Amino acid sequence: MTDTAPVRIEPRERVALIIIDSPPVNAASHPVRKGLAEAIDRLQADNGFDAAVIACAGSTFVAGADIREFNSPPQPPHLPDVLFSIERSAKPVVAAIHGTALGGGLEIALACHARILNAKAAVGLPEVKLGLIPGAGGTQRLPRLIGMEAALDMITSGRTVRAEEAKSLGLVDAVAPDHVAAAIELAGRLVGGRLRRAGAMDVPAWDQAAFEAKAAAIVKKARGKLAEGKAIEALRLAAQSDIEKGMAAERAIFQELRAGSQSGALRHLFFAEREAAKVPGVDPKTARPVEAVGVIGAGTMGAGIAVACADAGLAVTVIETTDDALEKGRARIESTYDRMVKSGRIGAEEKTRRMGRLAFSTDIASLATRDLIIEAVFEDLEVKRDLFARLDNIARPGATLATNTSYLDVNLIADATARPQDVLGLHFFSPANVMRLIEIVRTTQARPEVVATGLSLARKLGKLPVVCGVCDGFIGNRIFASYRKQIDYMLEDGALPHEIDAALEAYGLAMGPLAVTDLAGLDISWARRKRLAATRDPRERYVEIGDRLCELGRFGQKAGRGYYLYANGQRQIDPDVTAIIEDESRAKGIVRRRISPEEIIDRVRGAIVNEAAKILDEGVAQRPGDIDLVMTNGYGFPAWLGGPLHEADALGLGKILQTVKETARRDGHGWEPAPLLERLVAKGESFASLKLS
Ligand code: 3H9
């Protein structure tokens, strides 16, 4: 073993300090597994050592198996075997954990005879988030240490557990500020004593009925996802089998899931997230510091943005035009925090601390010292341009100016100022303090450091930023508008709202699009249609059902009526809506026909993929993975399909193009196949291949 080896041993008197040093996150790659296996062999053979401590260099303990290796057949030594050799070691082995011990990393620690956690460290088994179950003993050793129900919660949620909780669960032996020193000291003390081997223990007494009730609820909530149910299957074995049998079964399930499409899709999203942060020409180090922000507008979006910023520790000034609107905004923000306290997410003191970061004013000039100002006022180009012209005279030089528009031309908004290079779009999703996605809209003149500032702010808020160019609706709302049109066509062609929603929910969407429209309010898209009416191409097929509903005041859930009727908190099919839809079909001379769930899904999928291909060709999105992230994080697209473009690749682009061509034949203008889609099919390539160019 050399100093550059991924695993080295540093003697600490009679304790072998085994250091894993494999940046960036010490993943248990093939070289790491090999190095660890050799280190354990040396521990057994070397009379100079009585015990060992496994620790890591760099920012974290082992963050899991090396996910990049999952696309190829596994190479020995396999992690479960290495872990058996640790657990069966006659000499004590103690894990010294800092950063995050995740997945295979925590499994290494569970195979040790004791675990010491740095006070700032955290542990977890996040495999289900990758469509997997722990594959190196996590489902077998964890319940033996912390009990069946606690293990069920940790493994099926994939959540990260901080030091204090890990200690109280019995997952670690001690929490210490100097975890390595404490582990070396403990390893010395364990020499000659009886070693605690998790694999040799029985699971503590457990309430089988309570476990099964929780398990059933978890499987129901997982909907189409397989991993949660499989993890439960493996967990049950911990109570029924010895460690060898349990681990063999766990391994078989792990391998089956690893080779399956769901895990492939979730791994694609994992890497897409990391890639989204990389924007050509934008150096993250150039981001401007942001400590104090201004939020203009305290409606639903503005209030949510203010909460997101205050949650992240920023000083926030909220601006409204009148005292009354300001007070309503303040109350809206306070009630958000009250709900967080009520649900136990934060304590009353934390609420006071976060509210203390917020200032409220009707004087826009009070934003003069802010580092970044986010506008969240009424969605109207002229209103926003006027506001930006005013801000230009108020904001300090070098401040970043952002608009939270969801459709409008950010270039035109930037042009209202004398500093368009400092302007960008920050498109939050509602509720802004909950939804992870932010589209960072890059104008033609925005300086790279302004884009870097948007990315850095998003990260500070714990959000997922995706950079896109300017167009009507950016990535997400443009694609949404396209497939919503196709849904309108299907209403006119013969489908009813509940049939469309049921088909798409069965496909995996979190909520049917017409139920979503009712929730968001029909008036929003009505206003947009009216805005675009003058420029709409007369050749475009236009469905008037939505307009009819709005004319009748059926603005959705808030009005008690939209595509559905809402009574006693229940969504119901409304015969009046059926009649309106049938009238509209008749008026257009359309003979209604049954539209199958398969056709509904195919037409929606075709519309999404075709529009996405246009967006890619225009350079509005940088890469297919960015589109997949937007659709899964902002529009309820099921993550286990990996996003629409990952799914399209899996289905075969030829099949999608065929649907798109049928759409073009039927619906005409505006539905022409995207040239990029045609090119990919002609060359036999996929969206994934675009990543390489
Ligand atoms: C598992 O363990 C299965 C076992 O049960 C069974 C085995 C038999 N592998 O996120 P970051 C890369 S499943 C490979 O930006 P952060 C990442 O791509 C695994 N690469 O940093 C990026 O590369 P690049 C269970 C990985 O500080 C760089 O590291 N474990 C892995 O914001 C930095 O990543 C997990 O699911 C990996 N496991 O967050 C944990 N992890 O610079 C997954 C990261 O080229 N990882 N990379 O873009 C994480 O949650 C976060 O990365 C972590 C650090 C919290 C560790």
Name the CATH superfamily for 7-259. Answer: 2-enoyl-CoA Hydratase; Chain A, domain 1 (3.90.226.10)
**Mutation test residue for ligand 1: of 20, 25, 66, 83, the one with most atoms within 8 Å of CB:** 25
Looking at every residue in the chain, the average pLDDT score rounds to 96
**Ligand 1 and 24: CB distance under 6 A:** yes
Between CA 651 and CA 659 the distance in angstroms is: 12
**Could you give phi then psi for residue 524, rounded to 5 degrees?**
-65, -50
Catalytic: 127?
yes
> Could you check whether the bond before residue 448 is cis, i.e. omega within 30 degrees of 0?
no
Between CA 74 and CA 69 the distance in angstroms is: 7
- Map tokens 């457990």 to a residue: 206
- Angle of CA points 90, 94, 96, to nearest 5°: 160
For atom 45 of ligand 1, which residue has the closest CA? 274
pLDDT of residue 692: 52
Task: Assess contact for 124 and 160: CB atoms under 8 A.
Answer: yes
Q: Which segments of the chain belong to CATH 3.40.50.720?
A: 290-468
pLDDT of residue 527: 86
* Of the candidates 520, 519, 656, the residue with the CA atom closest to the CA atom of residue 601: 656
b vs e for 436-454, b when ≥16 Cβ sit within 10 Å of the residue's Cβ?
bbbbbbbbeebbbbbbbbb
**Ligand 1 and 99: CB distance under 6 A:** no
pLDDT of residue 693: 46
pLDDT of residue 39: 98
Between CA 33 and CA 192 the distance in angstroms is: 27
pLDDT of residue 320: 97
Report which DSSP code applies to 640.
G
pLDDT of residue 379: 86
pLDDT of residue 196: 97
Domain 476-689 has CATH 1.10.1040.50: yes
Domain 290-468 has CATH 3.40.50.1820: no
Catalytic residue of the set 13, 87, 127, 349: 127
Between CA 326 and CA 312 the distance in angstroms is: 22
Between CA 119 and CA 108 the distance in angstroms is: 19
Q: What's the 105 CA to ligand 1 centre distance in angstroms? A: 11
**Ligand 1 and 137: CB distance under 6 A:** no
Q: Is the dihedral of CA 141, 147, 152, 158 positive or negative?
A: negative
Strands 7-12 and 15-20: what pairing? antiparallel
Between CA 253 and CA 241 the distance in angstroms is: 15
**Ligand 1 and 278: CB distance under 6 A:** no
Name the stretches of the chain with pLDDT < 50.
Answer: 1, 693
pLDDT of residue 3: 57
Q: Which segments of the chain belong to CATH 3.90.226.10?
A: 7-259
Q: What is the pTM of this model?
A: 0.95
**Ligand 1 and 65: CB distance under 6 A:** yes
**Ligand 1 and 329: CB distance under 6 A:** no
3-state secondary structure of 221: helix
Catalytic residue of the set 107, 499, 584, 611: 107
Residue 288 Cα distances to 308, 447, 455, 630, angstroms? 19, 11, 10, 25
- Angle of CA points 100, 101, 107, to nearest 5°: 170
